[in-house]
Amino acid sequence: MVESIKTLSDQDHSAKRLFKDKFVYIGVIVLSAITISPIVLIIAKLIIKGYRQISLDFLVQNTPDSFQAMTAVANGEIIPGGIANGIVGTFVMVVLAAVIAIPVGVLTGIFLYENQGKFIANLTRNISDILQGVPSIVLGLISYLWIVKHVTNGFSALAGSVSLSIMMLPMIVRSTEETLKMIPQTLKEAALALGVPYHKVIFRVLIPTGFSGLLTGILIGISRILGETAPLMLTALGSSMINIDITKPTSAIPLLIWDFYNDPNMIGLIWSSSLLLMAIVLILNIVAKQVAAKRS
Amino acid sequence: MTNTIADIKDPILSIKDLSISYDKHKAVKNVTVDIKRNTVTAIMGPSGCGKSTLLRALNRMHELYENIHTEGEALLNGLNIYDMSTIKLRRKMGMVFQRPNPFPTMSIYDNVVAGYKLNGIRAKKKEKDEIVERSLRDVALWDEVKDSLHKKGTFLSGGQQQRLCIARALAFSPEVILMDEPTSALDPIATSKVEDLLVKLKENYSIVLVTHNMSQAARISDYSLFMYLGELVEYGKSKNMFTNPVDPRTEEYLTGKIG
């Protein structure tokens, strides 16, 4: 008996365990590296291929025509012109989409928060989740039917914004509800105990308190719709000029990337446009993370 | 119920046959009690006896929750609180909560005048300054924060935050201050400061204090209610109740046999 205990404790597994430990450790590092490698490779590729085109002109000039681009490429120069029409179009459409989606989304989020567990709220929440899963091209199609056909009677920035706002809506609804749920109930009671009417409690206590959470949701929502291409093809169509009339066809950065892809002479502009779009999305995400971190 | 005090004249609060239930469970059973003006009245009892539930009925906080039903009536200066608007009622009945809950987005100054700000009551800067100073002096916080009035209220220590919350309740000059275990989240030093404060405040306000801390009730209350399983068991002058309880359940609680 004593003998067997002794032999058990004498068994030395430490070498095997150390090996296992090392094996798992290296595995974790390798797999993590695989996870981050796409984003690193993408950014590296965009910078390498795109940086030459980036200049002030690139930000303030309209897209060149195919012939200008061809001549430049033939002479070994950088392609003249820029994507200002796309930048302005994206800005106009995203801002308009946010203006449509934020009030509706925030109010719906408040409604869900205030009616936890009720049938109508659960139904709304589920439908909002389903909306999030609707393919973006379908939203474009719907916006084409509603807006292009009946409101603006032609392709328009408004139609693009409507499809983008529908994409954004569920994200804002969710983030509003989740943010409000994280605010302690006692804060709400504190305000009510001061005789503050209910709507003022929501708009002057709960929303300001959860503001950073709401802002994070909105920024993430905007960064999601910035790169949307499919719905814009059916709604905003594109334009070679800067356009700020929301009832007229308008360009956007992702639409331009698609155009450049289809024109052999413009290939050079794909990379710089993608780099710019990527940079904007990246910055928005970093800002959103900072805002969220500040809250906690 | 035993040891009722029948001779409270002109009570600030008069609770009549008040019952409160959560869904089907009756948490407070037919409580009738008069609260004397300018006193500290402690509601004590073991956890789950309905003391907080009773307190929160007085400023109608229960109406936030659909599963809570209240029956009976409560009169504030002879007026039924269930006939008033909750907004008006809550301005007359300040409330201080278990954990300090200053508004995190507001400065110390704004927290004190939060009742005015949030209600959109316009007051001149000078008036507001006076309210802030008076309220903060009342809670003995003025000297500690007078140089940092525009810092966020959440930067204060727990005890200071709780006194700030009391100042916020005082800013409206309420008639009654309801306190729901205001010191249970505080350390002993902060607790004794708040207790001293309550004794001072009763000169101008009537205070109803829920506490599970018997010695606290003994130290600072003039009258005590003992509740057990939703019933009001005993009500009387604290001095008498702690030295000479009438009901055997009160005695068992005070000697630590129940609770």
- Total structural domains within chain A: 2
Does the CB of B172 have a partner CB in chain A at under 8 Å? yes
A interface residues, B as partner, C-beta within 8 Å: 184, 186-197, 200-201, 204-205, 208-209, 211
Run of H or E residues at B218: helix B214-220
Q: Contacts of residue B184 in chain A, CB cutoff 8 Å? A: none
The candidate with the shortest Cα–Cα distance to A173, out of A227, A115, A242, A226, is A115
Q: Give, to the nearest 10 degrees, the angle between helix A119-133 and helix A157-182.
A: 130
Name which of B88, B90, B104 is nearest A194 (Cβ-Cβ): B90
| Distance (Å) of CA A205 to CA A102, B114, B119, B157 | 18, 10, 11, 22
Residue B98, classed as helix, strand or coil, is coil
pLDDT per residue rounded down to tens, chain A (296 residues): 555 555 666 667 788 899 999 999 999 999 999 999 999 999 999 999 999 889 999 999 999 988 888 898 888 888 888 999 999 999 999 999 999 999 999 999 999 999 999 999 999 999 999 999 999 999 999 999 999 999 999 999 999 999 999 999 999 999 999 999 999 988 999 999 999 998 999 999 999 999 999 999 999 999 999 999 999 999 999 999 999 999 999 999 999 999 999 998 898 899 999 999 999 999 999 999 998 887 65
- Beta-carbon count within 10 A of A80 CB: 14
The Cα of B176 is separated from the nearest Cα of chain A by a number of Å equal to: 12
Burial A142-163 (b: 16+ CB within 10 A, else e): bbbeebbeeebeebbbbbbbbb
Which of B53, B55, B119 is most worth mutating to test chain A (most A CB atoms within 10 A of its CB)? Answer: B119
Residues A38 and A155 in one domain: no
The average pLDDT across B58-81 equals: 92
Residues A220 and A136 in one domain: yes
Residues A101 and A187 in one domain: yes
In this structure, is residue A58 part of a structural domain?
no
Residues A144 and A46 in one domain: no
Sequence-ordered list of residues with C-beta below 8 angstroms from that of B143, at least 6 positions apart, any chain: none
Instruction: Report the CATH number at residue A179.
Output: 1.10.3720.10
Residues A24 and A127 in one domain: no
Residues A159 and A37 in one domain: no
Residues A29 and A94 in one domain: no
pLDDT score at A4: 56
In this structure, is residue A68 part of a structural domain?
no
B101 to A194: CB separation less than 8 angstroms, yes or no: no
| B13-254 CATH fold | Rossmann fold (3.40.50)
Residue B66 has pLDDT above 90, yes or no: no
User: Distance between CA A199 and CA A193 in Å, rounded?
Assistant: 14
A194 to B172: CB separation less than 8 angstroms, yes or no: yes
In this structure, is residue A45 part of a structural domain?
yes
The Cα of A180 is separated from the nearest Cα of chain B by a number of Å equal to: 14
A195 to B172: CB separation less than 8 angstroms, yes or no: yes
Residues A215 and A158 in one domain: yes
A197 to B115: CB separation less than 8 angstroms, yes or no: no
Domain stops at, among A6, A34, A53: A53
Residues A131 and A195 in one domain: yes
In this structure, is residue A13 part of a structural domain?
no
In this structure, is residue A134 part of a structural domain?
yes
ipTM metric: 0.88
Instruction: Specify whether the CB–CB gap between A174 and A109 falls below 8 A.
Output: yes
Q: Contacts of residue B115 in chain A, CB cutoff 8 Å? A: 194-196
pLDDT score at A6: 58
Q: What is the pTM of this model?
A: 0.82
Sheet strands side by side (includes B13-22): B25-35, B13-22, B68-76, B79-80
Residues A49 and A186 in one domain: no
Return the ∠ at Cα B129 (arms to B124 and B132), rounded to 5°.
Answer: 125
Return the ∠ at Cα A230 (arms to A224 and A236), rounded to 5°.
Answer: 95
Residues A287 and A229 in one domain: yes
The first and second tokens of residue A281, run together, are 């999305």
Residues A198 and A254 in one domain: yes
Domain span at A147: 86-295
pLDDT, one tens digit per residue, over B122-147 is 888 999 999 999 999 989 899 999 99
In this structure, is residue A12 part of a structural domain?
no
**Domain map of chain B by residue range?**
13-254
Residues recorded for chain B: 259
* Residue for token pair 């909002």: A128
For residues B80 and B5, the model is more confident at B80
Query: Residue B254 is which amino acid?
Result: L
